[in-house]
Amino acid sequence: MKACPVCGGELRRETRKVPYTYRDDTFMIEQPGEYCRHCGEAFLGSDDLKATRQLIADHKRDRDRLLRGDQVRAIRQKLDLTQASASEIFGGGIRAFHKYETGESIQSRPLDILLRLIDRGKVSLDEIREVAGGR
């Protein structure tokens, strides 16, 4: 039995519905973690946070009217780009598209708009490359 560092009560590994608030919107997520049976305190490890990262990021994106991670991935794949080449063309660092697609980061509104325009055929990838300096 693990003891709670706050009150000394018993910690149990479980998944609980917990509220998450972003801006003025509160929603429930299924959050795995270690929970104290006595005081209710939660202890979340990196794997626990990783388990809900995509869900939280996509909820924020929905709230902000941005593309979800799977939509970013679909557009990138439609353009036949790797995550690394997409990051090189659009910026954000070498792992940017990996982070957008997995929920580690949320893309900026300007990038989101650009991806939507490309997806709708309003702007071509060749035009983007030309403006970006031939990358």
Residues of the chain within CATH 3.10.20.860 domain(s) are 2-50
Q: Which residues pair with 17 in a beta bridge?
A: 30
In CATH terms, the fold of domain 2-50 is Ubiquitin-like (UB roll) (3.10.20)
Q: Look up the CATH architecture of domain 69-131.
A: Orthogonal Bundle (1.10)
What phi and psi values does residue 130 have, to the nearest 5 degrees?
-60, -45
Q: Once rounded to an integer, what is the mean pLDDT over residues 20-36?
A: 95
Residues of the chain within CATH 1.10.260.40 domain(s) are 69-131
Q: What is the pLDDT of residue 133?
A: 76
Q: Is 135's pLDDT higher than 60?
A: no
Measured N-to-C along each axis, helices 69-78 and 109-119 cross at an angle, to the nearest 10 degrees, of 50
One-letter amino acid identity for 92? G
Q: Which residues pair with 29 in a beta bridge?
A: 18
Q: Once rounded to an integer, what is the mean pLDDT over residues 12-31?
A: 95
2-3 vs 10-22, strand pairing mode: antiparallel
2-3 vs 25-36, strand pairing mode: unpaired
Q: What is the pLDDT of residue 134?
A: 57
Q: Once rounded to an integer, what is the mean pLDDT over residues 31-46?
A: 96
For 52-81, what is each residue's pLDDT tens digit?
Answer: 999 999 999 999 999 999 999 999 999 999
